[in-house]
């Protein structure tokens, strides 16, 4: 999942960014409301973790604006306000969930995954194609019931392909699943990860659409649509 973290506290923001990254998220971190608004306008996110007390523009202002624009990106509000009326107000404004500070990092991970699943209309967090089964919550992959060990970035590429199995993902789109802001993008990273996934899941599992990108193979069992692909 690619997540926007809007949090102005440098200690909390840095800690949350590191923790989410360790749990397999790609995280873009901003420290004020204006930067958060620009990020949402220029990038696609699976979820947003939004602090209410941001400088320049408050979290409430941003939430109202995004919903007015009909931006459906799930938002988990991070708030120090623990009163019931405050929580009801946030949910009525369009927040998908909330956490009262201080919060547990693993609970934030679980809530971000949950709102992301709801947005994808996937209540189980499980993605399957043929013999391959991926479970987002446990970060596990099996093939024909046998566990498959994937690196963090291999898992991200596979998850992106499975979530978009009816369409082709370009190399740029796959790079966005791998790297957050400030991370150096290796020129052949996507090709390397695709190669490793094919070795572990079967050569024909991922199809190359020449000049466009990649998709999970949708051909009948026994066919080899990958013949001749790089």
Which residue, 21, 16, 28, 26, is CA-closest to 160?
26
Q: Is the pLDDT of residue 174 over 70?
A: yes
Question: Does the pLDDT at position 107 exceed 90?
Answer: yes
Report how far residue 135's alpha carbon sits from residue 167's, in angstroms, rounded to the nearest whole number.
Answer: 21
The topology (CATH level 3) of 2-119 is Rossmann fold (3.40.50)
Task: Please check the confidence at residue 97 and state whether its pLDDT lies above 80.
Answer: yes
Do the domains 2-119 and 126-216 sit in the same CATH topology, yes or no? no
- Does the structural domain 126-216 have CATH classification 3.40.50.80? no
Say what the pTM is. 0.66
Q: Where do the structural domains in the chain lie, given as residue ranges?
A: 2-119, 126-216
Q: What is the pLDDT of residues 59-84, one digit of tens each?
A: 999 999 999 998 989 999 998 877 88
pLDDT of residue 218: 58
How far apart (Å, rounded) are the C-alpha atoms in residues 72 and 168?
Answer: 22
Residue-wise pLDDT tens digits, 175-218: 887 877 666 667 788 889 999 999 999 988 999 888 888 988 75
- Residue showing tokens 């409301």: 33
CB-based contacts of 18: which residues, under 8 Å, 6+ apart?
A: none
């Amino acid at each position: 999942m690619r997540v926007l973290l809007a949090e102005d506290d440098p200690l909390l923001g840095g800690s949350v960014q590191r923790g989410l990254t360790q749990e397999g998220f790609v995280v873009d971190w901003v420290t004020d409301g204006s930067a958060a608004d620009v990020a949402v306008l220029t990038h696609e996110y699976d979820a947003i973790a939004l602090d209410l007390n941001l400088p320049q523009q408050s979290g409430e202002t941003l939430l109202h604006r995004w919903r007015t624009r009909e931006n459906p990106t799930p938002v988990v509000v991070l708030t120090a306000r623990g009163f019931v009326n405050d929580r009801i107000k946030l949910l009525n404004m369009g927040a998908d969930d909330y956490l009262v500070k201080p919060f547990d990092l693993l609970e934030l991970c679980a809530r971000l995954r949950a709102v992301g699943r709801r947005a994808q209309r996937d209540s189980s967090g499980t993605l399957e194609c043929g013999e391959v089964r991926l479970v987002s919550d446990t970060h596990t992959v099996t093939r024909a019931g046998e566990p498959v060990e994937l690196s963090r970035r291999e898992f991200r590429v596979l998850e992106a392909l499975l979530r978009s199995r009816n369409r082709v993902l370009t190399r740029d789109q796959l790079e966005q699943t791998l790297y957050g802001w400030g991370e150096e993008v290796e020129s052949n990273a996507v090709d390397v990860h695709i190669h490793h996934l094919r070795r572990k899941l079967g050569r024909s599992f991922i199809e190359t659409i020449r000049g466009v990108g990649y998709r999970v193979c949708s051909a009948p069992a026994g066919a080899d649509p990958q013949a001749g692909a790089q």
